Structure 1
Amino acid sequence: MRSPLLLAALCSPLALAQNLIEVQPHAMLRLPATTHVLQVERLHIADHGTLLIPSGLTDMHVAELRLGRNARIAIAPGEQPFRLDVESGEVAAGAQISVRGAPGSFLQPALPGRTLSLRLVAVATEALLVDARGGMGAPGYSGLDGADGKPGGCTWGQASRGYDGLRGGDGQAGARGGQVRLEVPLGFPLERLQVRLDGGAGGSAGNGGNPGAGGASKGCWLYSTSHARDGRSGQSGQSGSAGAAGNLDVVRF
């Protein structure tokens, strides 16, 4: 259970500078969007816990970091670069820091992985994943269905052919991967750190519209005019292109 003191601290950027932020196992905690710069004395995220950081936060300094197994720091997509400085800490296997972009939708394009500067000073790491992949492109629209043909009479007139379905829309392009700058000591084991910079996958192609049915006479007893042909199915659109990969810059000090 988090104490009332911690809950009060999460509402005050000044109080956060000297307090413990703790996420319990299998729990999720979202920081409030009240400041751009945050200083934390101790940040502890237990096994399978997740800390959500809003897009408005751009600079976070942590004196002591503890990441349990499969613990995660998830930083929301944003246009401004994000910097995380860690003075000391321990990182268990399966832990990750995510700055992934957001998938696209019919209303907005996919967002790229966020630009991240990560400085680790005295941090013992079993394995750490930095995920800066771009967002997936939005899928294409489905084509409109073709209208049905008009029926003919029972003894005269000609039924009309069904209309063709319309072509599906093209999928949108995926967003680029993030730009990651990693600052570590000379002896830091880089083989224990994995950085994913893939661009987002392109959006799926929209399906073509269904064909309209050919006109056919109805309610006729002895005679009826011929059934007209159905329309053709609309063609599918094209899949969107994948986003460009991001970039990793490693600086040793």
Structure 2
Amino acid sequence: MRSLALLAILGSSLALADAQVKVAPHTLLRLPTTTGLLVLDRLEIADAGTLLIPSTLTEIRVGELSLGREASIGIAPSDQEFRLEARHAEFGAGSRISARGAAGSHEKPATAGRNLSLRLEQADLADLILDVRGGAGAPGYAGLDGANGKSAGCAWGQASRGHDGLNGGDGRPGGAGGRIRLEVPEDFPAENVQVRLEGGAGGVAGTAGQGGRGGSAKGCWIYSTDGPAMADRDRPGNQGRPAGKASSIWCVSLHPRSENAGKARREG
């Protein structure tokens, strides 16, 4: 696919020939914002290298896929499933494919992990981590501090008490975990694959506001008008709730001589 000349590079070296993409050791490569399908003869990510895939890309088909030690593929969050298909794949120790949801903020809720479909016709691997955890929830708002009490006049009234601080806001819920579908050879060493499917952690509770200081009257020699020093602090908010574990993994064995593949489902 010769249109790969449009690839954008951030802090890494890129080699492109005969539809090949190579990420040098300890460097980062970001693919451009393109949509749909990307077809490659070879995709190689060297030791500790990282390839970032935009949310608009939904599928990569590659003849040879190679991830070195601690190499990783990071897939941006999206509502659309991402599919990676390789005729032959090699995964070094500590290699990772991550499609985690984005953490929430006060403006946006946490997003779910992206659904991932992985088809490997032949595979050699030391170990592999597949991570589709949901994003963490945003923290709750801090409670407002209470207003200070009013000061008293020397010839009238007593200084008023400070007002209570307001409650802290509840933490926001985390995003749901994504789903994973694996299509692998019958002799694939599934025990060497670690899967992360959890929903994101709920946000921490907002802190309660401080109580306001009591009013006072200084220099009054007729009588004391000092008010209470400080009001009570109100309670903090509640810890955010994590999104439930509505995620799963499907493992499909590829049988070269059979049209019907056997299926085994494991809930996350």
TM-score for the superposition, normalised by structure 1: 0.91
Give yes or no for contact 2:99–2:131 (8 Å, CA) kept in 1.
Answer: yes
Deviation, 1:75, is: 0.2
> 1:45 deviation in Å?
0.7
**Equivalences, count:** 245
Amino acid corresponding to residue 8 of structure 1 in structure 2: A
SS in 2 for 1:58: strand
CA drift of 1:58 comes to: 0.3
Does the Cα contact within 8 Å between 1:155 and 1:224 map onto a contact in 2? no
Cα displacement (A) at 1:35: 2.9
Residues 149 and 214, structure 1, Cα contact 8 Å, conserved in 2: yes
Question: How far, CA to CA, are the matches of 1:219 and 1:93 in structure 2?
Answer: 76
Q: Provide the residue aligned with 2:7 in structure 1.
A: 10
* Partner in structure 2 of residue 218 of structure 1: 218
Which amino acid in 2 is paired with 1:27? T
What's the TM-score, normalizing by structure 2?
Answer: 0.86
Deviations 1:87-126 (A, max 9, x none): 1121101000001011111011110110111011111000
Query: Counterpart of 1:124?
Result: 124
1:83 aligns with 2:80: no
Task: Report the alpha carbon displacement of residue 155 of structure 1 after superposing the two structures with TM.
Answer: 4.6
Deviations 1:46-90 (A, max 9, x none): 111110000000011111111111111000000111100011121
Equivalent position SS for 2:96:
strand
Alignment partners' CA distance in 1, 2:162 and 2:61? 66
Change (3 A) 1:32 1:199: same
Q: Given the alignment of the two structures, is residue 196 of structure 1 paired with residue 196 of structure 2, yes or no?
A: yes
1:247 corresponds to: 248
Q: 2:98: which partner in 1?
A: 98
**C-alpha separation between the residues in 1 aligned to 2:186 and 2:155?**
92
The corresponding residue for 1:66 is 66
Tell me by how many angstroms 1:219 deviates: 4.5
Contact persistence 1:153–1:224 (CA under 8 A) = no
Name the residue aligned to 1:169.
169
Given that 2:4 and 2:19 are in contact with CA atoms closer than 8 Å, whether structure 1 keeps it comes out as no
CA apart distance, 1:227 = 2.5
Contact kept, 8 Å, 2:6 with 2:32, in 1: the verdict is: no
- Which deviates further from its counterpart, 95-104 or 226-235? 226-235
Aligned counterparts of 1:222 and 1:62: Cα–Cα separation in 2: 90
Aligned-partner Cα distance in 1 for 2:124–2:159: 78
Amino acid at match of 2:192: R
Q: Which residue of 1 aligns with 2:266?
A: none
In the TM superposition, residue 221 of structure 1 has moved relative to its aligned partner by 6.2
1:228 matched to 2:225: no
Residue 136 of structure 2 corresponds to which residue in structure 1? 136
Is the CA contact 2:164–2:210 (under 8 Å) kept in the aligned structure 1? yes
Question: Which consecutive unaligned segments of at least 5 residues does structure 1 have?
Answer: none
Aligned-pair CA distance for 1:226:
2.3
